[in-house]
Every structure is written in structure tokens, then in C-alpha cells.
Structure 1
Amino acid sequence: MFFVANQNRQYTVLADEDLMSLLEDGDAGAFAALYDRHSRAAYSLSYRMMGDRQAAEDLTQDAFLKVWRSAGGYRSERGSVRTWILSIVHNRGIDQLRSLASRRRTQDRVEQSAPRSQPSEAFAETWRNRQREQIREALDTLPAEQLKILELAYFSGYTHVEISNLLDIPLGTVKGRMRLGLKKIRDYFGQKDMAVPR
């Protein structure tokens, strides 16, 4: 019993990079220590992306399974272990959201082929589709670096600090690009004499 407790204490003093080295060799204790350190941040990002507790738990579990299987893929020169884990969560989340969107599109096509009983529903759907098109058009006018920041913040749920770490750019640059991007979108809608969609 003392040996196990002492061994667990040993993992807690190791740096993330050292735990990753152990994890490459299949060390379950190193995996548990990494999970203890980073699962809350991973769940928080999962929840922001998925918007549902159960989906966030599933995404977190899926991401850590990928961490276990892909420990050899971690490269310290590309960023911290935490950033690597959060990027796995983000990528797995994007995959899941795309899959959900694909299923929704299929469902929408089926529903659209069915006769509509309420003309007001058809009008509301047309209005929503037009707003989506307008937002897409506005986003297409942005420079790539501003677009990337807005996508990470608004579509992927990253904070300014997380974006700064992920893209390896200063926090002030992240905030500046976000401000410029949002101003350009407002100006775009102002020039076209349209209200900014909410």
C-alpha cells in the first residue's frame, strides 16, 4: 500500500513532458497523472464546443483515449502538453460537430422534401439561411489572420489566452486582430445598409 501511494506521489512531481515520455511506454500511472492535471480544462473546452454535458463528457473521454494512443505524436517544440491535449479536444470536437452538421443537413433535406404546412416556417427558414449567407460573405472579406482568431473564439470556444498559446502569438495581437475583424464585419454590414445578424 505504501509503495502505491509513494508511486502516485512520484507522478505528481514530474513535469508534463516527463509524464509523456512514460506514457509512450504505456505507463498507466503517468496517464492518470496527466488526466488529473488536464481533464478539467479539456472538459471545459468540450462543453463550450458541444453545449451539452453528456456530449462534453463523451468528447473529453474520446480525446483522452486519443492522448493514450498517440502519446508518441507529442512534440514539445510545438507547444506545451496542455496545448497539445486541448488541440486534440478541439480537433475531435470539430470532427464530431461536422458529423452532427452532416446528419442535420441530411435531416433538413428530408424535411424540405416533405410538404410544409406552415408558410411562416418556410419564411423563417429562408430568413435564417439568408442571414447565414450574409455572415459567410462578411467573414470572406477578412484577412486570414483575423478570420482564424474569430473562428477559434466564436466557433470553437477558445479564450483569448488559449488562442494566444495555440497560435503562439502575443495576447495583445489576438485582441487586436479580434477587434479589427469585428469592426470590419460591422463596417461590411453598415456599407450594405444591413443590420448585423445576432
Structure 2
Amino acid sequence: MVGRQEVAPGLSSVPEPGETTEALLERVGRGDEAAFEQVYARVADVVFGLARSVLRDPHQAEEVAQEVLLEVWRSAARFDAAKGSARAWIATLTHRRAVDRVRSSQASRNRDQAVASRSNEREYDEVVEKVERTLDAERVRHCLDGLTPRQRDTVTLAYYGGRSYADVAGLLKLPLGTVKTRMRDGLIRLRDCLGVGSDA
């Protein structure tokens, strides 16, 4: 809870016996430490209890109670008895601060969950892509096995070796037309095996 050392220095006077909390707050607004001590003694437990009822977590409730009591010290001059009692004003400050803490905590959890979710989605996408690449590679290998050895050599050199038709013809010591025919026939068989459209 708020200790005396956390209260800003100000004017002090001895509280009148039986003073109302409203009268004490008016003096707190003028910097009267002794009046604040009286207000503190009257409302600290109520402030903590209200914060605890909103927050559930006693540590957070204690932090909020400290913040509220410091706010009472700093903003007592803004209290207007014509608008309600001192306890109602302090209860409103407490409730507002506790709700803000709940929202802040929830926003923080939401951010953490969003980051974790994006991370999980990226990992999932990477795994899916890897699986798809692996499956595609296996399908292509399977389909390449369905080609004749000559077609497979031609397609492999051209597509996987990055060679031009002329290079393939030179390597295989074949006429260019023969290489083109083998390529055409091999690609048709690959297309049919992979199940891609006829315009592929």
C-alpha cells in the first residue's frame, strides 16, 4: 500500500476530530499530509477490496490500490462534493483504474497470442510447403521413371541440367531434331502422368 514516504511533501495540520472525508479531501487538495493520512486510514482497505473484486489477482490489486491512493493525493483538488461523496469519487477512481488494468492485461495477452499464432502459422506454412515440395518431387521422380531411358536422359539434361536443346544434342551425339522429338514425347508423357492440363 502507499506509504508515507510516497506522499509528496506539503502543508500539514492536525485533523479536526470527526471531520468528514469530504472535508479531509478538501484539505488534501491543499497539500495537507495529515489530512491525507486520515483519508488513507479510512479508504485504503476499501480501495484494495474493490480493486481485488475487479482484478482477482491480489498483487495487481495492491498495485492498483497504490496507484489510486497516489492519485487521490495528487488530484484531491479536483474532488467536487457537489457531485457526490468522497467515497464514491474514490471508488470511481479505483474502478476505472482496475478496469484499465484488466484491459491492459488482456491487450497484452492478445498481443502475445497473436504473435504466437503468427509464429505457429508460419511454421505450419513452412511445413506444408516442404511437404508439398517433397510430394511434388516424388511425383516428378515417379513420372520420370515412366519415361523411356532416352526420353528421361533428354528431359533431365534439358530441365534439370539447364542445358539448351543444342547442348543436349551435342552431349548425346544426336541430331537436334531427334532431341526435340524426344523432348516433346517425354514432356507429353510427364504432363499426362502429373495430371496437368494439356496447355501446360
Which TM-score applies when normalising by structure 2? 0.51
Contact in 2 for aligned 1:20/1:30 (Cα 8 Å): yes
Contact in 2 for aligned 1:42/1:89 (Cα 8 Å): yes
1:91 aligns with 2:96: yes
1:65 aligns with 2:66: no
Distance 1:105 1:26 in 2: 41
* Structure 1 equivalent of residue 47 of structure 2: 42
How many aligned residue pairs are there? Answer: 110
Taking the TM superposition and a 5 Å limit, the aligned residue runs for 1:51-130 are 51-115=56-120
* Structure 2 equivalent of residue 21 of structure 1: 26
**Unpaired runs of 5+ in structure 1?**
1-6, 117-198
CA 1:81/1:19 → structure 2, altered by over 3 Å: closer, same or farther? Answer: same
Distance 2:43 2:73 in 1: 13
Shift of 1:105: 1.0
Provide the identity percentage. Answer: 28
Paired residue secondary structure (1:26):
coil
CA 1:110/1:68 → structure 2, altered by over 3 Å: closer, same or farther? Answer: same
Distance 2:90 2:117 in 1: 40
* Structure 2 equivalent of residue 142 of structure 1: none
Distance 1:58 1:12 in 2: 31
Shift of 1:115: 2.5
Shift of 1:48: 0.8
Shift of 1:52: 1.2
* Structure 2 equivalent of residue 32 of structure 1: 37
Paired residue secondary structure (1:13):
coil
Shift of 1:78: 1.5
Which TM-score applies when normalising by structure 1? 0.52
Distance 1:58 1:90 in 2: 13
Distance 2:75 2:67 in 1: 12
CA 1:55/1:12 → structure 2, altered by over 3 Å: closer, same or farther? Answer: farther
**Unpaired runs of 5+ in structure 2?**
1-11, 122-200
Shift of 1:72: 1.2
Shift of 1:114: 2.8
**Paired amino acid for 2:89:** W
